[in-house]
Every structure is written in structure tokens, then in C-alpha cells.
């Protein structure tokens, strides 16, 4: 293969080409320091500047004020499942979780090791093909927090907007849709995201926490590196953070900013969704959407074909035609098109042409 393919991988996933080119261009000599950012101390002024700029830009793009702090850690979003419960599920209290798929289920499992989380609503009965409505949520006003997964990477569903949690802070796993569309943020106490879907490479988790939440976090009762207080107080520099992934996240944020920020990116993502779901609706005898319409994800589009043989053929022929990563997760089957921010409208136009052509030839 001499050209880059169109990469629909679910994660790690496509990184915008201008970001890779920029990183390539300054790989050997970062900002005239005479060395790569990979070779730079996390205590050096070059990295200090980079960290501060990344934090400020993330808050700006998310539309959050300086009462929030951006933190960086290793361990993936999966470590956050445990840390959230360890730090924030207070004695005698509980936390509410909305179960909308594989990742929500894992978050609940980790919380069960620590305490007694309650499931405020679940769509498990229908194999997680929908997001529960606000009036289905059984919320406890004494809960420490409400946890949701904004986009269900595996099942292909996404919240239209965040639920109203009253006075209870909302914690959101935004691993697969952070900075892809605007949500109402006023209940948000914390969001977190593994970077490898929509923000850059694997190896770093971005955590954004409101200042009143850090006050509620446990201190000495936990090992040092499992305390949010440590990460917060040391500004993510208690130990060596994943410096190169943080640098790449900065380049991705610059790329989003350069396009006009979150609203501009959302507009493109909606156009991509209209195009691909439009085709699924138009050819619904052939391409069967795997989720309820109102819960459709703009990031991961899951659908089935008339037979599994045809699904296999579509994936194999697609690879020949330069489309990679179309295989659905083993728990759902079928096709999954992961179209994070790095996938352009033109990429989706090309895919839609391929899908039309495939259906015509294999009807
Ligand atoms: C991929 C994913 C995770 C797991 O992320 P890791 O960084 O591999 O731990 C968690 N939540 C969601 C929504 C995801 O898409």
C-alpha cells in the first residue's frame, strides 16, 4: 500500500493528517530545543509551556471556565472507572450509574468493588440499542454523583444531550465523543476520555474536573497515585506523565481550533451523520440500522446486512477499495463505521458511494 487508506478503526483510530505531518516535521527538533519533545524533561520549560497551552486550549474548546482543571494520566479510561469510585463514592452514600453498554457496564463493575452503586436506568433489555429518556432515570438526590457514557462506542448510541441531575454532579465518560459536538455542561463535575478515539494516540487520559469536586475527593486513605488530589495539586507532574501523547493531543486541539472550534467540527460531524444514516434509511431493506433512530451515534454507526456472508464480503471488498476497520464489535456483529473528527465529509461521501455500489452488485 503506497497511499494512506481511509481508516474507520474504532480506537486507536485515525489521527488528522496535518497533525501527523506537524509532528513529523518537529520530531527531531522541538521549538529549536535541539531535541525531540520525547527527549525533553517533563520539568523543562518547553514541556511546561506545552502543558499550560494544552490545558487552556482544552477548556476553551470545551467551553469551560477556569473553575475546571485539565489533568493528564496514564491507565486509560478504564483506570478512571476505579478511581472515580475510590475517590468520590463517599461513606454511607452511593452513586447512580446509567447503563448504556459495554463501557458503562465495566464502570459499574469497578464501582461495585468499592461500594454499592445503583443503576439509575439501563437499556440492556434491548441489547443497548437506545439511550434511556430523562423520565426513565431513577435518580437518588443523595448520590455522590451520576455517571453516564456519552457515546457508546461498541453499540453505536449517543446521548442527544446530558441529563438533568439536579444538585448531583454529573460524571461523563466521553472517551469516544469528546469535542465532537456541544453538550450542556452546567451539571458536569467531571469528564474524562482516553485520547485514542477522538483526541490523539493511546497512552494518555484527559480528565477535566470542577474545583468543588476535588474538595470531595478522598486523600490519605488512598495510595498516592490513585488520588485525584495528587494529580490536581501537582498539576499532572507528580510523576512522569505521558509527554509525547500530551504533545499530540495539543496538536489535535490546535487542529480543531484552526477549523473554528467545536461548533465548526459539530457541523461537519452532523453532515457526515446525515449522509450515512440517510443512506441507511433510504436502503433500509438492505442496510438495517442496529440502534433506535433517536439514539443514533454520530461517531460510531452500526448496521447489519441481509446475511453474515454479505457482511464479510463488504468488509473484505472494502479493504481492497481502501476502507479499513469496518468490522463491527464481536458483541454486536455486522458493520461499524467509526467516524471520529479525523474522518472528513469526503471520506463519508466515498464510503456511501461504495455502499451503494456494493448493494447494487450484491442485491
Ligand atoms: C475505548 C473506551 C473505553 C476504554 O478506554 P481505555 O483507554 O482502553 O481504558 C472506555 N470508555 C469508552 C466510552 C470507550 O470508547
Does residue 12 sit within a domain? no
Q: Are residues 219 and 125 in the same domain?
A: yes
Burial class (CB in 10 A: 0-12, 13-18, 19+), 233: exposed
pTM of the prediction? Answer: 0.98
Residue 280: pLDDT above 90? yes
For position 121, which CATH number holds? 3.40.640.10
Q: Which residues contact 286 (CB under 8 A, 6 or more apart)?
A: 305, 306, 359, 363
The number of beta carbons lying within 10 Å of the beta carbon of residue 225 is 14
Three-class secondary structure of residue 292 per DSSP: coil
pLDDT at 1 over 80: no
Identify whether residues 130 and 252 lie together within a single domain: yes
Q: Measured in angstroms, how far is the CA atom of residue 194 from the centroid of ligand 1?
A: 6
Give CA 57 to chain center in angstroms.
Answer: 17
Q: Are residues 62 and 167 in the same domain?
A: yes
Whole-number pLDDT of residue 230: 98
Please indicate, yes or no, whether residues 107 and 217 belong to a single structural domain of this protein: yes
Tell me, yes or no, whether 209 and 170 share the same domain: yes
Based on the structure, what is the number of domains in the chain?
Answer: 2
Q: Write the residue with the smallest CA distance to atom 2 of ligand 1.
A: 175
Distance 342 CA to ligand 1 centre (A): 18
In percent, how much of the chain has pLDDT > 90?
Answer: 96
Q: Are residues 224 and 290 in the same domain?
A: no
pLDDT for residue 249: 98
The answer to whether residue 116 is domain-embedded is: yes
**CATH number of the domain enclosing 300:** 3.90.1150.10
- pLDDT band at 2; cut points 50, 70, 90: low
167-190 average pLDDT score = 98
| 345 and 248 within one domain | no
Q: Is residue 166 part of a domain?
A: yes
For residues 338 and 269, the answer to whether their CB atoms sit within 8 Å is no
The boundaries of the domain holding residue 287 are: 260-362
**165 shares its domain with 282:** no
Instruction: Give whole-number Cα distances, 188 to 33, 183, 209, 314, in Å.
Output: 39, 10, 8, 41
Based on the domain organization, do 274 and 226 belong to the same domain? no
Q: Return the active site residues.
A: 103, 173, 197
CA angle 303–306–308, rounded 5-degree value: 80
Amino acid at each position: 500500500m503506497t497511499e494512506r487508506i481511509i481508516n474507520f478503526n474504532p480506537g486507536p483510530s485515525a489521527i488528522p493528517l496535518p497533525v501527523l505531518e506537524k509532528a513529523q516535521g518537529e520530531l527531531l527538533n522541538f521549538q529549536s530545543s535541539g531535541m525531540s519533545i520525547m527527549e525533553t524533561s517533563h520539568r523543562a520549560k518547553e514541556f511546561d509551556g506545552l502543558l499550560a497551552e494544552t490545558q487552556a486550549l482544552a477548556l476553551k474548546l470545551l467551553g469551560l471556565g477556569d473553575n475546571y482543571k485539565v489533568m493528564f494520566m496514564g491507565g486509560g479510561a478504564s483506570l478512571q472507572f476505579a478511581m472515580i469510585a475510590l475517590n468520590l463514592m463517599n461513606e454511607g452514600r452511593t452513586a447512580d450509574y446509567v447503563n448504556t453498554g459495554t463501557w458503562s457496564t465495566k464502570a459499574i463493575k469497578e464501582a461495585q468493588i468499592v461500594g454499592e452503586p445503583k443503576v439509575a436506568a439501563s437499556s440492556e433489555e434491548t441489547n443497548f440499542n437506545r439511550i434511556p429518556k430523562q423520565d426513565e432515570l431513577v435518580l437518588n438526590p443523595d448520590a455522590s454523583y451520576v455517571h453516564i457514557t456519552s457515546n457508546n462506542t461498541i453499540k453505536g448510541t449517543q446521548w442527544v444531550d446530558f441529563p438533568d441531575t439536579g444538585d448531583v454532579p454529573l460524571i461523563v465518560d466521553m472517551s469516544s465523543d469528546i469535542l465532537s459536538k456541544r453538550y450542556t455542561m452546567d451539571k458536569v463535575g467531571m469528564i474524562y476520555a482516553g485520547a485514542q478515539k477522538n483526541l490523539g494516540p493511546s497512552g494518555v487520559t484527559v480528565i477535566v474536573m470542577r474545583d468543588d469536586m476535588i474538595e470531595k475527593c478522598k486523600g490519605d486513605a488512598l495510595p498516592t497515585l490513585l488520588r485525584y488530589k495528587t494529580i490536581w495539586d501537582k498539576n499532572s507532574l507528580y510523576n512522569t506523565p505521558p509527554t509525547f501523547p500530551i504533545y499530540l493531543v495539543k496538536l489535535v486541539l490546535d487542529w480543531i481550533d484552526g477549523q473554528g472550534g467545536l461548533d465548526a467540527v459539530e457541523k461537519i460531524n452532523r453532515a457526515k451523520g446525515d449522509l450515512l444514516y440517510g443512506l441507511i434509511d433510504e436502503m433500509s431493506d438492505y442496510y438495517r440500522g442496529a440502534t433506535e433512530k433517536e439514539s443514533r451515534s454520530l461517531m460510531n454507526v452500526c448496521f447489519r446486512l441481509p446475511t453474515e456472508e454479505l457482511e464479510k464480503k463488504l468488509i473484505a471488498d472494502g479493504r481492497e477499495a481502501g476502507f479499513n476497520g469496518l468490522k463491527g464489535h464481536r458483541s454486536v456483529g455486522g458493520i461499524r463505521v467509526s467516524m471520529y473528527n479525523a474522518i472528513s465529509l469526503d471520506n463519508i461521501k466515498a464510503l456511501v458511494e461504495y455502499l451503494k455500489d456494493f448493494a447494487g452488485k450484491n442485491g
